[in-house]
Amino acid sequence: MSRSLEEGPMKMRLRLRLLALTLTVPAVIGLVILGPGSGIGVSAGAGSNRPPQAAFSYTPAGPTINDLVTFDGSGSFDPDGRITLYEWDFDGDGDYDSTTGAAVIQWLYDEPGSYTVSLRVTDNGGATASTTGEVIVSPAPVAVRQRLFTPLAPNKALPGDWIRVEVEISVRKTINGLGLAAEPPQGWRVREVDNGGATFKRGGGQYQWLWVRGLLSGDRLRIVYEVRVAESAPPGLYKIGGQVSSFSPRFKIPIPKEVEVRVP
Ligand SMILES: [Ca+2]
Ligand SMILES: [Ca+2]
């Protein structure tokens, strides 16, 4: 059967995002997996060719969704020749997602979960060896929830009214340099109410909260601020957006803005 006919949309998406890059060996190495410990996939080639050994590492060690994960198969070797082919199955479905002559490759997971990754190497004599490892992909490093409290329920406010905004951030891993940016509609003022341990900065129409201290998994942050509907705001639906970002790990997560404010 043709492999391409069996591919679902999710896998096609992953395949499209695949970047085959040759990289220097990263400073931080994740799990090192040596094969053929599981006893699979070793086959002798013709004559006296000795089979290769498969091994790979990956980084970062604890990836989250949409992190580029670098897989490095350069720990594989052949005692009497060289490796000519690296075949990777990144999601454990038995289909190789990448076949390449380069040892290093990057892959992106857009769903959290535990993935079995297999590497099969082939030497210049045609003998193969395989090894497998587990990659656990975590959900986004923070969960963000925003609620609006308008003077005229539900979600209705008049020009000049103050709207209260509460943002809750649940931290799921160690984070340094977390920031929250509020993005109110043009010309709407922001005033701080509860900065949740962060430093509040404003300037040039930007409103930001920055946490100097490192944050740990399980921390919950609550920021409260108020936004004043511009006196000149024409009737319509308005969104109060923003984003949560971090230096380490580096990410940007937009705040969900399902709730719109209606100015009659
Ligand atoms: Ca060999
Ligand atoms: Ca696969």
The alpha carbon of 107 and the centre of ligand 1 are apart by a number of angstroms equal to 28
Ligand number, closest to the Cα atom of 87:
2
Q: Give kind and range of the element (H or E) at residue 189.
A: strand 189-194
pLDDT tens sequence across 167-217? 999 998 899 999 999 999 999 999 999 999 999 999 887 899 999 999 999
The alpha carbon of 37 and the centre of ligand 1 are apart by a number of angstroms equal to 18
pLDDT at 25 over 50: no
Who wins on pLDDT, 7 or 66?
A: 66
Name which of 227, 179, 224 is nearest 201 in CA terms.
Answer: 179
The alpha carbon of 120 and the centre of ligand 2 are apart by a number of angstroms equal to 12
pLDDT at 16 over 90: no
The alpha carbon of 87 and the centre of ligand 1 are apart by a number of angstroms equal to 17
Ligand number, closest to the Cα atom of 127:
1
Ligand number, closest to the Cα atom of 46:
1
| Beta-carbon contacts of residue 121 (< 8 Å; ≥ 6 apart) | 52, 53, 54, 73, 76, 78, 83, 85, 86, 87, 128, 129, 130
Who wins on pLDDT, 3 or 152?
A: 152
The alpha carbon of 227 and the centre of ligand 1 are apart by a number of angstroms equal to 69
Ligand number, closest to the Cα atom of 109:
2
Instruction: Report all structural domains of the chain as residue ranges with CATH numbers, in order of start.
Output: 3-137 (2.60.40.10), 142-263 (2.60.40.2260)
Ligand number, closest to the Cα atom of 88:
2
